Every structure is written in structure tokens, then in C-alpha cells.
Chain A
Amino acid sequence: MPEQPADRTKELVLLITQHQRRIFSYIYTLVPDRHSAEDILQETSLVICEKFSDFRIGTDFAAWACQIAWWQVRAARTKFARSKVIFDEKVLEAVAATAAELAPEQTARHEALAHCMQKLNPRDRDLLMTRYESGVEEAAKRTGRSLVAAYKALTRLRKLLHDCVTNALTSEAMA
């Protein structure tokens, strides 16, 4: 691993801090299992550090990092070959291409999501946050729902948020 000057290290830390969510999001889209995606993110981080001397400051760091993540996902296919957490190669490539195409809108969607969440009923927001923090069972328990009711409510809420974010961005574009 090549030695990096201190300024270069700061640059790396800053870039990773700025783009960490987008890199995770990309991996999670291709490997829709949180823990597997986290493992791949860790592996990707090490490769980013190793190869950082190849990165040209001023170019798109997130795109460069996602390219590294793509190869890590490909490598992980062997590990997940018999598992259901990853799609076959053809689907994976098509999804990766769409993810790259939609990457520029992601920050705006992430921010709009925060506003849309504020519009939710507190009980629904609690369900959603607990689900993403502690899992569906805990979310069902905490909000006094059965597991089946929690699954249904989560499906409804995700669609609601998806539409709210899309509408917010459409209205903004038309304003």
C-alpha cells in the first residue's frame, strides 16, 4: 500500500465522508441485504484506500468509488451464488446501469425524503424508523401491530414516501 501524504489523506477522508451514503446505496441496490452490503462496503473501502493514488482530484469520486464497488459486488457473486440475495448477471448489469444513470438525482431525493418523513403521522414515522433501526419485529411490537399488519403498513408507507419524493422533485423542476 503506497504511503500517502497527510493532505492526500485528508482529501480521502473528506471525499469518503461526503459520498459514503451514495456508495452504500449503490451496493445495497445490487445486493439487497443490509449485512451483506455492509460487508462489501468494508471491502470496497479498503480497495479505495489502496487505489486512491490513482484517483484524480476534481473528477467524480462517487462514480470512481462505485466502479470499485461494482467489482467487489461481482467478486461477491461467487460467495452469494446459491443465495437469493443477489440477482443473476444479466439483471445485475441492467440494474447497475440504471443506478449509474439515476445517481445524479440521488442527493435531491435523499433530502426530499427528510421532508416527506416529516409529513407522516408520528406513529407511522415511528414504525418506519424502528423498522430501519431495529427490524420489523421490534417495529411491530413497539407500535402495537401484528407482524402482518406491520408488513402491510411498511409497504404502504414506502410507496407513500416514494410518491411524495417524486412529486416534490417534479414540482421543484416545474417551479
Chain B
Amino acid sequence: MNSMNDNERVELNELISALTDGRATVAEHSRLGEMLEASEEARRFYVRSMAMSASLFGYAGEMQSERPEPKNVIAFLGWSRWAAPLAAAAAVLFGIWIVRFFAGPNQPGNAEEQPESVAHLSGSKDCKWIGAAPAPGDEFARGRHLEIESGFAEVTFDSGAQITLTGPATLDVRSAWEAELLRGTLKANVPPEAVGFRVINAAVEVVDLGTEFSMTAEEGGAAEVFVLKGAVEVQPRDQGGGSGEQPRSVLREKQARRFAKAGVSDVRDRDKKFQRFTAKIAVERMAHPLNYVRWSFDEGAGEIAGAASNTATDSTIRIGKNGAQWTQGRWGGALQFNGQPAVQAKLSGTATRGTRSVACWVRLPAEASVSGAQSFLALPLNHPPQSWAEFSWNSLPGEGVLGALRMQTRQGAAVGATSLRDGKWHHVAAIFGPSAKKANKAPTKLYVDGRLESFSVKSLARRGSDKMPASLDGTLWLGGQPGGSAGVMMAMDELLLVDRPLSPPEIRHLMQTNQLISADALAVN
């Protein structure tokens, strides 16, 4: 047998899946061996399938993480440690890799990890909480249980989805992309960047396709879904312990369904309920003040890129005669880097310390060389002292998607999942650094074109030294690695540093308008 027929292809797929999941019988294993021996086509399918599973082990370890590094692993990361004896280095390297590549949530290596925030309280109105009341802006970690007796509470997820709870209601925050409504009513507003956000409960799973919908969950387990705008995908959940998957369906604007143990049915008093859910809920949002410094790169000529700031800050970037060139940007002008060593700028005032968010537009050549420089921005961090965050595009396929946004700090590297290496402008934003409340916690969030990136935080040896010399502390580096002899080939526009985490709506607004959102706009947005 060399070429297989359709039945044999189906059989082969089943056998490989059984083998992968560790449930293949001796007879099945033997049959698979026969097929592999007889057919080149079978061997090719098998090799590609197993390589895919090997990749999935890696992605599962990486993409679920969004977690800071365990301290005992971080301790190994200093580059100088690799001067240790070869065998020890190799053992450590492979040991770390295996732990990190495959580590699941229950692995001992994760025991010291702290829960990372995936959402925050962005607004409320007349809200009476059951249990400790969170303050406006408080962050919620995975698994956070929220319960309100009355009033309204608005939760913004890191994916950009916003949920307004109407009390009495109980909601579990499961991730940046998922919530569980245990009882009560919610209204979900999901921008295009958060398509795929889902709300589940005992009766139904609702996957948003870019829309606004409401959902009510009754104590008895039934739920009703109302689509106010756009469309959602709904799938009844098996409440009877059956083995089959329930069929999915799509609900469109003005459609509603009731999901219960008895099955799926129409909603009673549908029009009355729609009228109630379409009424605007005017939650009160608190505008958190921020300090910023931004470079528009609109000069178009000369050797200086001026900075604008809402504080008395002089953070002018001196490009020099042979530095970057001026070019057409995403908004006005931009800087084009052509491989020269990085441009340095001494930051002053609030720009020196406390950066928590950075955003800019970048354009990488589609054929950017993997052997060339990849770093395009390095920023001083306030913790630990004399450390910095370095932004680049990922050139190591073993660490994530080639061309994806990569952020490296002393704690490790975060690599996104969207390739920037396509010759187009992309808006990138990162939230990083320890917050004042949690000095030992360094959450990292990456956004590309307004969409939250899945990423890995990896324990890989960093390139370059671990500590910025004191004389260079407080220095911003553009277009290359600090101290590097050659720089990156790419264009950059509208660089912005902010001293607090930007929320997903703020990042989206910045991307769409090139303006920071005002307090008034935030209140009605």
C-alpha cells in the first residue's frame, strides 16, 4: 500500500489520535505500525501529526501561562551563570526548558506564582456588594468571585470585553476571555478586538462574535440570552450528564432563546425584556489621572525629535546626522531605522521612573532578516533598580511565533502570537512593571492592533548584561539594543509612555484616534 483510500485515511487519523491520547490498544498499535510500514503517505501524515502534538505541548505550556516566573527559576537566568561548567549548564538549560515548556498549573514549579489580574472594576452605580467591596480600578485575578446585592457594576476584561452586572447577580471571572454567570443579569459589550469572548453558565455557553448581548441566569439553572446588536454563537450545555455535544447555533440581533434542562425554547415576555435590556445604564466611571510623555516624530527634518508631555519634562531625542531618517508614518511623520546603532535619550522628570504602559506604531519589513538586530526599544524600569524592558520582534521560532512582539526584562521574556513581520503598520502596546500595591508582582500584557495577545513568559537566557550601568540608567534606547553595534531595520511612529496601566478601551481609543481618551469621553464611552 502506498497511496491510501479515504477509509484508510480516516482509520489512520483515529489510530494516531488514540496513540496520542494514550488509549491505543496493542492491536491498534500494531495496525498503525503496519500502515506506517506500508505507506509513505501514512508516514508523512503521522510525522506531521506527531510534530503538531509536540508543538501543542509547547503552546499549551506557553499560551495558558500569562504568569510571572517562579523565583527559583529566575535566579538561574543571569547570563554570567552560563559560564558555569558545561555539563551543569546543559542540565540546567534542559531542566528549565522541560519545566517551562511543559509546566502545567499543578506543577511544583508554579507554586510560588501569584494570581495575575485579568480584569478590573471600571465603573459602578448604586452598587451594594456582598462581601468585601472592591474599589474603582481594583484588579481581579482569575477565579475572582463577584457578588452584588443591588445596583450596577461594570467589569472590563483585559481582552476589552465589558460586562455590566445588574444586582442581585453573581459572576466568576475565569480569564481575560471568559466569565461565568451564576445568577442574575449581565449586559456584555464586546468590541471587535475581543471577538471570541464567552460567557458560560450551567445551561448555555455564549461565544461573542462582536456584539452586545444580555443574559440572565436563574437559580434553578435555566438561562436566557438576548442579542441586542450583532450576533452570538450559543451552545446548550449538557446538564443531564450525557456524552454528546449539543449542537451550536447562531443568534442574531433581536433574537432571544431560553436554555433549560427541558431544552431550548422561546422567551416569555420577550419584547418587554428586550426593552429593559436596551435601556442605557449610566455607570459612574472614575478617570484615573496619568502622566505621559510622547514623541510624534512629525518633525520631518533636522536632528531632534521633540517630546510632548503633561508634566515639566524635557525628553528630547537627539537623532544625530547619521541616525534614523524621517519617513511617512501612520499618523504624520515617523522615524525609519536602517541598522544604525540605537539612538539614546536621557529621560527626565516623570518619564524616568514609573513607566507602566508603552504604546507605539511599528512597521517591520516582510523579509526582515532573522540574523539582523531585532530590538527597537529599551526603557528603564523602576524595579529592580538599573534594569530595563527591551522590546523586539521574536527571531527564535523555538520561543514563539517568528516576528511576534517580544518583551524582555530581567524576569524573562514575553512573546506574543501575532507576527509583525509583514511590511504593514501595527499598533503595539505593553503594560508592565510592578504596581505600587504589589511591588513584587510584575504583570505583563501585550496588545497588538488593540487585541490582547496570548503569550509565554519564558525562562530563557537573556542576551546582553543583566544590569544597566548607573551612568546609563534612566536612558531610553530607540532603534537597537542598548550598547549594540548595529540596529534594527524598521519604522516607528507615535511613541507614548504612561505612568499607569492603560485599560483596553484606552488602548483601543489611542489606536483609533491617536489621542489619549479624555475623562469626559471615558465617562460616556
A contacts, CB < 8 Å to B:
1, 3-4, 6, 9-10, 12-13, 16-22, 24-25, 28-29, 32-34, 38, 41-42, 45-46, 48-50, 52, 84, 87-88, 90-91, 94-95, 98-99, 102, 106-107, 109-111, 113-114, 117-118, 121-123, 126, 128-134, 136, 144-146, 148-149, 151, 153-155, 158-159, 161-162, 165-166
By a CB distance below 8 angstroms, the chain A residues around B198 are 122-123
List, sorted by A's number, 21 A–B pairs whose CB atoms are closer than 8 Å. A9-B82, A12-B90, A28-B54, A29-B51, A32-B50, A84-B26, A91-B37, A94-B36, A94-B43, A95-B43, A95-B47, A98-B47, A121-B248, A131-B21, A132-B59, A133-B61, A146-B242, A155-B13, A158-B53, A162-B48, A166-B48
In the bound complex, do residue A149 and residue B207 qualify as a contact, i.e. CB atoms below 8 Å apart? no
By a CB distance below 8 angstroms, the chain A residues around B47 are 29, 95, 98-99, 102
In the bound complex, do residue B398 and residue A19 qualify as a contact, i.e. CB atoms below 8 Å apart? yes
Of B19, B50, B93, chain A has the most CB atoms within 10 Å of the CB of B50
- Decide if the interface of chain B is mainly helix, strand, loop or mixed: helix
Of B58, B197, B398, chain A has the most CB atoms within 10 Å of the CB of B398
B101 interfacial by beta-carbon distance below 8 Å: yes
A29 to B48, CA, bound (A): 9
By a CB distance below 8 angstroms, the chain B residues around A159 are 13
B104 interfacial by beta-carbon distance below 8 Å: yes
By a CB distance below 8 angstroms, the chain B residues around A18 are 396-398
Known: A9-B89, A38-B98, A129-B64. 7 other contacts (CB 8 A): A20-B398, A98-B40, A114-B59, A126-B178, A144-B237, A153-B245, A158-B20
Q: With A33-B22, A90-B37, A151-B23 in contact, do A12 and B245 touch (Cβ < 8 Å)? A: no
Q: With A129-B63, A151-B23 in contact, do A13 and B461 touch (Cβ < 8 Å)? A: yes
In the bound complex, do residue B399 and residue A17 qualify as a contact, i.e. CB atoms below 8 Å apart? yes
By a CB distance below 8 angstroms, the chain A residues around B241 are 146
Which partner residue on chain A sits nearest B34 by CB separation? A91
Question: Which of B26, B91, B461 contacts A45 (CB under 8 A)?
Answer: B91
B290 interfacial by beta-carbon distance below 8 Å: no
By a CB distance below 8 angstroms, the chain B residues around A20 are 94, 97, 101, 398
A162 to B20, CA, bound (A): 14
Q: With A94-B37, A95-B43, A132-B60 in contact, do A21 and B90 touch (Cβ < 8 Å)? A: no
By a CB distance below 8 angstroms, the chain B residues around A45 are 90-91, 93-94
Minimum Cβ distance to chain A for residue B26 (Å): 6
In the bound complex, do residue B33 and residue A88 qualify as a contact, i.e. CB atoms below 8 Å apart? yes
B44 interfacial by beta-carbon distance below 8 Å: yes
By a CB distance below 8 angstroms, the chain A residues around B16 are 158
In the bound complex, do residue B90 and residue A28 qualify as a contact, i.e. CB atoms below 8 Å apart? no
Which partner residue on chain B sits nearest A6 by CB separation? B83
Which partner residue on chain A sits nearest B196 by CB separation? A122
B334 interfacial by beta-carbon distance below 8 Å: no
